[in-house]
Amino acid sequence: MIPHAAGRPLLTPVDRDAAVRAHRLRTLGLGRRSDGSFDDFDAFANRVAEVTEVPFSMVNFIDGNRQFYAGLHTPAGTHKGSDLGATAANSSRTGRYVALDRGYCPHVVARRKALVLEDVCDYPRFAGNPVVDDMGIRSYLGAPLIDRTGIALGAVCAVDTVPRPWGRAGLDTIKSLARELVRYMDRREENSLGI
């Protein structure tokens, strides 16, 4: 555990790969929003929400300092990070950045394993997360996005405001969606390199 600036413990696990991940995200041109180049990630987040039947879903890249919602589905369909407590990098863009202590994707990335929380309130470590009180989050299903270099770049997740019995089917679904998105990112990199 590392201390949080507000004096309460930050229960996000220590991320030993943060520097390597941040470099890889910069190389891939991921981790920050520019000129609408992330519309495909928003479309993927919409698909995750549809498949898992949840009000919120994200494609989340984590650079070690913050989280970036490259893909976002919200109940209003606005793709606004402010619906999830995110902030904008500057006043002209929709907020897509959140602190590492908001939500559960940093756990998925640091652990490099899927995380299934049918009811976050059943786990003291996760029940105290700010998203529980701020947004009413009660259920989380996420899987890491591990690219061809073996780096966990981020996570894809489905989030609900009611407890959900995800079961094995939910776990298999989110892992399959993560693999699909990684294949897409690999093709995107190959195309940019002219491979």
Distance CA 37, CA 20 (A): 23
Task: Provide the CATH topology of domain 2-190.
Answer: Beta-Lactamase (3.30.450)
User: Do β-strands 9-10 and 2-3 pair in parallel, antiparallel, or remain unpaired?
Assistant: antiparallel
Give percent of the chain above pLDDT 90: 55
Distance CA 51, CA 53 (A): 6
Vertex 83, ends 175 and 25: CA angle to 5°? 50
Low-confidence ranges of the chain (pLDDT < 70): 1-12, 31-37, 77-94, 195
Of the candidates 75, 79, 62, which has an alpha carbon nearest to the alpha carbon of residue 22? Answer: 62
Phi, psi of 139 (to 5 degrees): -145, 140
Distance CA 109, CA 111 (A): 5
pLDDT digits (tens, 9 = 90+) for 34-79: 545 678 999 999 999 999 999 999 999 998 788 999 999 988 765 4
**Domain segments of the chain as ranges:** 2-190
